[in-house]
Structure formats: structure tokens, C-alpha cells
Amino acid sequence: MVAALVAVGVALLVDAPTVVVPQIAVLYAATGYYTARHPDVLHGGDGPRPDWTAGALGGGLTFALVGLTTVDAPPWLYVYGFGLAVFGVAVGVAWARSRPQLA
């Protein structure tokens, strides 16, 4: 919930269109919900093996942010794009973990 409030604050500071602000709030709130259910997505697992999920999250977000900063887009789009990237990874991990037969 805190992430949603911060994201909305940043979106308002960078003059995001009014229609996009509620979408950003819902996006970041849903991301917070999924990462709260699976906190090891952010800090890794407890095993000695490499944590590919945390590595994919870090690498994917780095790639997404570098890609976002190379285009000439309004700053509010960076807030929205980053939220979409994090949401996609969090929901993907939650979906995969809900189906142990896929592992």
C-alpha cells in the first residue's frame, strides 16, 4: 500500500494524466500484494543453490529501466512502465508457485 501511495505521489509530481493515476495506484497495490505473499522474490530463497527468481527480477528490471530511459517519453510513463514490469514478474512467480507440477 505504501508503494502505491508513493507511486501516485510521484505520478502527480510529474504531471501524469488524471486517468492514469488510479491505474498506477491499483498496479502498485496489486504488486505489493503479490510480493507480500512471496517475499523471497525480493530477497531470495534460503537454499544454497543460485536463486534464479531473484536474479531474473533484478536483471529484468535493470533491462526494463535501461530500455525505458532510452526513449523520449513523459516521466509518468516511467512510473507506469516500472510498475508493469514488477507486476508481471510478481504475478508470474505467484502463478508458477501455485502449480508445483511445473517445477
Per-residue pLDDT of 23-57, as tens digits, reads 888 888 888 887 787 776 666 556 556 566 666 76
2: left (phi over 0), alpha (psi -120 to 50) or beta: alpha
Radius of gyration of the chain (CA): 15
Q: What pLDDT shows up at residue 54?
A: 65
Q: What is the pTM of this model?
A: 0.64
Summarised one tens digit per residue, pLDDT across range 76-95 is 888 888 888 778 777 777 77
74: confidence class by pLDDT, cuts 50, 70, 90: confident
- Confidence (pLDDT) at 43: 60
Those residues with Cβ within 8 angstroms of residue 65's Cβ, 6 or more apart along the chain or in another chain = 82, 85
Per-position DSSP letters for 48-73, written without gaps between them: SS--HHHHHHHHHHHHHHHHHHTS--
Rounded to the nearest angstrom, the gap between the alpha carbon of residue 59 and the centroid of all alpha carbons in its chain is 12
pLDDT band with cut points at 50, 70 and 90 for residue 103: low
38 alpha carbon, distance to own chain's centre: 13
